[in-house]
Every structure is written in C-alpha cells, then in structure tokens.
Structure 1
Amino acid sequence: MNDSAEFQRSPSHFTDRITADGGDGWPVEPGRYRLVVSRACPWASRSLVVRRLLGLEDALPLAVADPVQDERSWRFTLDPDGRDPVLGIAFLSEAYHARDKEYDGGISVPAIVDVPSGKLVTNDYQRITLDLETEWRALHREGAPDLYPEALRDEIDDWMDRVYRDINNGVYVAGFAKRQEKYDAAYARLFARLDQVSEHLAGQRYLVGDTITEADVRLFTTLVRFDAVYHGHFKCNRNKLTEDRVLWAYARDLFQTPGFGDTVDFDHIKRHYYMVHEDINPTRIVPRGPDLRGWRTPHHREELGGRPFGDGTPPPPPPPEEVVQPL
C-alpha cells in the first residue's frame, strides 16, 4: 500500500533465470531445482498448470506450502514434521535468507530453490512460466503443447499485459483499496476489461489463435478464484463469473482440460484468502459456498473449434502424490 491508499504489488526481488545456456549461473538440469508453490496463490498456480501441461513433474519436483502462512512466511506444515522433505526447511523464508541473509522483503510464491545449495534462485512469477516454456524445451514431455509460440508472442504479450493490469492484479487493487475512489476506479477497470474479454471470447475458443497459450493460463487462474473469493472477499461483485455466459463457459472449458482443473484446490484457495487477510475478514470465517459442482457441467465451447494442445497431446494424469481432491 502506498501513500495514495492504492495497492501496489511489489516487484520480484530475485530475478535470476534458469536457462538452457546457464547464462545467469543457473543451467537447466533435471532434478536440480525445487518449485515451491501454494495452491491458493494465483501466481503460483500459473506455474502448476504450465508444469503439468509440459510434463515437467520429474524434471522440476514440487513442494506445496500450507495455504495459511504466518508471520514467518509460507510454511511446510503439510509435510511430516513440518519440514520440506528435500530442502529440510520449515519456512520458505529460510531459502530466501540462504540466498541473501540481509533480505527483509516479502516472501512470495512461486519460488524456485536450488536443492544442492538450499538457496532461492528466483521468485519472478512473471518470468518463471515463460522460461519453463522456452528454456526447458529439452525436458518437455513428448507431445507437449507450445504455450508461447514465437509467431504469436506479440499478441500473447499484449493480452497478458492487459489481463494482468486490470484483472489478475485488478482484483487485488479493488480488494485492498483503502479509499472509496481507489476501489471504484479498480472496480470499473476490472469489469470493463472482463466485458472486453467476454466479447472477444464469444467468437473464439481461446484468447490467441486456436490453441491454449500462456495468455489463457494467466486468465484462468483469476477466473477460477472469482466466485469463491474475489466476488465477495474483494468486493468485485457487479456479477459472478457464473452470470457471464461466455466467461463461465470458457473457464469451465479450461477447468475440464487436463492440466488445469486437476491443479486447483478450492479448499486451499478459500482458507488462504479468508483466514490470512484479517484486515478484510477479521473473523477468519471461511464461507461454505459457492456450490462448485457447476465446474463439471458441459460448456459446449468445442463448437467454436480450436485444438486445445495444437499438434500435441493432453498430459497424463498427475502423479499420485499431486492429486487434488476432486469436486
């Protein structure tokens, strides 16, 4: 929050990249790194979806933090003895401080940690998925889709910029506003952009081209949280996702696509937002609704054509240890 009472997202502090040539000192190596996520976090969920679609589960093992962190940061209380079994740490902040013992900023996910040294490599959520799609190609599964095709990158980048500014981050600007006019402005930008996206998607199955791209991944992770938390908790309540015929069908289409819905944990999502944001929800009561069964209903988006994975194939089922409780 700044002096204008408007929410400002802090930039990622650690922006090293893991690349095929190791230009930043971190070469792509299977099994060397650990992806730390919370299934509650939309930014981390991007990396979960992309990792599944590309088949990087073995190459980039996963650590899942408790959705309810405390003042010491994201914690590994879901694991036996409250420690990540590979990194041996109880809190993600330990990897941040192994990298920079003087660091006193925020502890965010997704984060990639170097297992041999225990040091954080990057928390650059805007870059992590793009590098998984481009720099990690040698480790992609056979049949992995191209989520960031070179010929469409300008258009994908344009959509991602607009969606990030007004939707992905826009719900937070509205939800954490401290003055009415700041909330009103964010609310107006959010729904103006959602209306534009809805109109665009009325005539085509995906945001860019006829296949799933990174742009769809980034929009999905906000839409899937919309009715469960953003509509009420963040006061983004002009209408629910389920009340927009196009966006609701689009979101269901993606949710039912392997690699999307099988990474979503609504229990983690709801407990995080309603229990952690005590300034917004001081009682920490977690709502029972909404009814989630609609996510499995027919969407009919296939009538618009399109090929979800392009020339590729769907990912196989998730590893047993990563299966999320089904709806």
Structure 2
Amino acid sequence: MHDQINEGLKKAQEGIYRLEKIKSMLKELEEEKQSLEQRMYPLETILKKEDLDVEKLERKSLTQIFHSVLGNLEKQLEKEKSEALAARLKYHQAVKDLENIKDEISKLSSEKMKYIDYPTKYDLLYAQKKDMLIKTDLDKGEKILDLTKKINDAENNLTEIEEAIRVGKDVISHLENISGSLESAENWGLWDMFGGGLLTDLAKHSHLDDAKDKVEKTQELLRKFKTELTDVKITEDINIHIDGFSKFADFFFDGLVSDWFMQSKIQNSHKSVLNVSRQVQDVIDRLYRLEEQEVLTIERLQQELEHLITP
C-alpha cells in the first residue's frame, strides 16, 4: 500500500511539474508569436513598396533571391536594395518561424489536457499518505512528506536542466555546421556582385544556400532552447543571456546582406554565428553548474530522509 501511494505521488508530482512547464512554454510561445507577427508587418510593407512577388521569391534559393531582388531593383539606391533584400530573407524566416510556433502551441495545448487533473490526484494521494504517517508519528510523518516532495521537485528540475543542456548542445552543433558552410564559401575570396568569380562558384556549390537552410533549422532549435529555459528554477541566473536568441536569423541575414554590398569576405554573417554560439555555450556552462548543484541537493535530501526513516 505504501509503495503504491509513493509511486502514485511521484507520478502525480511529475505530472504537475510537466503541467506547469507546459503553461510556461505556452506563455513564452504566445509572446514569441505576437512578437513575430509585429515584426512581419514592416517587412511586408517594404516588400510591397518595392513590388516584389513574395510567392515567387518563396520558391527560390538564396543566390537566386539575391539575383531576383537586385535585378528588379536596378535603379534603386544601394540602401533601398539592401533593405528589400534583408526584408525578403527575414520575411521568409518569419513565416517559417510562425508556422513552427503555431504547430508547437497546438501540440502543447493538447498535451496539457493529459495533466490537467494531476493536481487533484496528488492532493488525494497526499492526504492518504499523511493520514497513514500521522497514525505512527505526526512530527516525523510531516517531515517525511516534506522531504519526499523536495526530492521529487529536485529530480524533476534536474531532468529539465539535462534536457535544456541536450538541446543547447544540438544548437551548438548546428551553429558549427553553419560556420563550416560560410568558411567553405569564404575560401573563394571576395564577392563579385556582377557575375563570374565567387558568384559563379556559389551558384554551383550552393554553400550559402546550405548555410541558409541550416540557419532556418538553427533558429527553430534556438527557440526550443529558449522555451526549455522558461522555468524560473532554471532561468533565474541565465535569462539575461537568451533575449537575442529569437532574432538570430535576423542578425545573420543583416550581416549577409551587408557582406554582399560591401563586397567583402563573409565576415558580418559569420560574426553573428560566432556571437550566438558563445552565448549558447555560456548558457550551457551555467546549466552544467546548476546541474551539479541539483545533484548535490538531491543527495543531501536523500541522506536526510534516510536518517529520518532509519535513525
């Protein structure tokens, strides 16, 4: 009987923890969705102003987009060209991000319903165990209940930290792949906006197209990483470092367009990748420290519980 109640309490507590996590994640995603929708409006305005066919551009590769936009805007000033090009790249990314966010909100909303009655289950089981313990020793029984709850809380938090570390390492791996694609493109030297040279090679080898595809996936992972860090037990010491994650793709495309018009090596776009990579690694390092602290906390609480049960 004791084992069944203990197992039920643990499962119910895990369900409550997941329920609260989902609520936090949904709140974060709704805010991100609203922010994206607000950012898309001025981008749409720029594209409409330059009379660019968004649907046709949607099906083009990165190098084709550069040619299409710049070819349609031959008479425009360089600043207007760069704004239109950056707007196109950012708009495409924002559309993908919005689709992913809506899909994630739908999945989490469905999952939330699985745990909606777990708080009630927990309260019923808690009352049963409390009655059983009080019959033997009131003071000790309450301490056992308190320690058991703290251990379960710490174990759940440890699981969340470990999951955040896993996602963070996945982000780092994708950022390294982007960096590799940019370095491959950069090896051919300076850009040539008007044909031949590097541009011809880029059309053949599509290193920047490859980087663009990886940026889209990395932006999705960065959002997932940021969402994993919504719980205050994790973000208390690191939330200041993650605010820029949702705009990584914007920074990357701004740098890419800047590199193009300056006809320089691929420096600004590469710099944005290295910068966010350092930020992610800093968060991961902090998570590792939190993981160590949580493990020590669990060990300490378990020792207290053992001493209480077997004095």
Q: TM-score range by the shorter chain?
A: under 0.3
Q: Which structure exhibits the higher relative contact order, with contacts defined as CA atoms closer than 8 Å and separated by 6 or more residues?
A: 2
Task: Return the TM-score normalized by structure 1.
Answer: 0.26
Which structure's residues are more often helix, by fraction? 2
Task: Return the TM-score normalized by structure 2.
Answer: 0.28
Which structure's residues are more often strand, by fraction? 1
Structure with higher Rg: it is 2
